[in-house]
Amino acid sequence: MGVSYFLYLSCLGLAITAQDQDCSRPVGGPNTVLTDNRETYPTGTTVTFECETGYITAGGNPRITCTDGTWSPLSLKCERRNCGSAGEVENGQVDYPEGTEFGDKLVVHCNTGFALVGRQEIICGSQGWMDRLPVCEEVDCLDPRIPNSEFVQGSRPPHGYKATVTFECKPGYTMEGSDTLTCQINSQWSPGLPKCSK
């Protein structure tokens, strides 16, 4: 009985050690995300990783396999998405002070005499630049209308940046304010429009 009991225990031990071990939840590499949310995985299970938002695959295999409680190595490499150049803005410059990768932003500056229409700063997102480039429009001040006055000299419409116009009041009227106006970068006259009062 002792020999057969010993053989029985030996076989039982072999059966226990031959039993497969589960794997715990695997840990990925930098900027990777597991696509499966289980806590344990039976041997033979294959899981897949993907790159985090804002990152793209730069080579390697996204899959690993559980074998007797151990995961095969993950070779997936992820790098920040590069949005590249957003293009050019006529009558302005596009600057990339931080770079052109995910999370970076570009800044647009208009040349002197041109005003920005649109967003000045645009962020590089997971699908590319997150907005259209703005445009730089030439500054244009509306022709000033000053009741009871007469145009004396200066620019004619359109009135661009730094254009000047001079007015005088009609006979019998006195000017309150400056008789000469200058078109500013915000398309407003400076100083404010004068008045011609009796």
CATH code of 132's domain = 2.10.70.10
pLDDT in tens, 39-95: 999 999 999 999 999 999 999 999 999 999 999 999 999 999 999 999 999 999 999
pLDDT band at 5 (very low <50, low <70, confident <90, very high): low
Give the helix ranges, DSSP H, for the chain. 2-18
**86, 122 in Cβ contact below 8 A?**
yes
Domain count, the chain: 3
- In terms of residue numbers, what domain contains 101? 92-138
Cα distances from 49 to residues 81, 122, 124, 180, 189, in angstroms, run 17, 30, 24, 69, 60
Residue 170 domain flag: yes
**76, 57 in Cβ contact below 8 A?**
yes
Bridge partners of 169? Answer: 149
Residue 15 has pLDDT above 50, yes or no: no
Residue 15 domain flag: no
d(CA 103, CA 126): 9
pLDDT in tens, 69-79: 999 999 999 99
